[in-house]
Amino acid sequence: NAGVMQNPRHLVRRRGQEARLRCSPMKGHSHVYWYRQLPEEGLKFMVYLQKENIIDESGMPKERFSAEFPKEGPSILRIQQVVRGDSAAYFCASSPGAGSEEQYFGPGTRLTVT
């Protein structure tokens, strides 16, 4: 059973460009979480999604950031008009569903904004 997959693993964008980060959850998992880890800081929750629904986006910046988890395909975290402060590691985690205690994390996408 393949683990959580994220791509790309490394992404370089110039200021003002768009970044798209993809996350494929583990097989059978219907819940996806996105976390951000700024350099030398801890992991911070961004958004929690189920298929076709955003359940909790309380950790998402109000502007430029959006997330989706369509019926088919991976979950996408989209950052528009990136700025240098968006440079971070973005981790995706998945779980089977409500009542499941563990979240399984992907290897992360390292975003560098130049």
Partner 1 sequence: DAKTTQPPSMDCAEGRAANLPCNHSTISGNEYVYWYRQIHSQGPQYIIHGLKNNETNEMASLIITEDRKSSTLILPHATLRDTAVYYCIVRVAGSARQLTFGSGTQLTVLP
Binding site for partner 1 (CB under 8 A): 4, 31, 33, 35, 42-45, 48, 55-56, 59, 89, 91, 93, 95, 97-108
Task: Provide the minimum distance between the beta carbon of 81 and partner 1 in the complex, in angstroms, as a whole number.
Answer: 26
Sign of CA dihedral 84, 92, 56, 78: positive
> Rounded to the nearest 10 degrees, how much is the dihedral formed by the CA atoms of 42, 101, 1, 76?
-50
Q: Which is nearer to partner 1, 55 or 83 (CB)?
A: 55
CA dist 100 and 79 (Å) reads: 29
Return the amino acid letter for 3. G
Q: Which is nearer to partner 1, 74 or 104 (CB)?
A: 104
In this structure, how many other beta carbons lie within 10 angstroms of the beta carbon of residue 113? 19
Task: Provide the minimum distance between the beta carbon of 108 and partner 1 in the complex, in angstroms, as a whole number.
Answer: 5
Task: Provide the minimum distance between the beta carbon of 74 and partner 1 in the complex, in angstroms, as a whole number.
Answer: 16
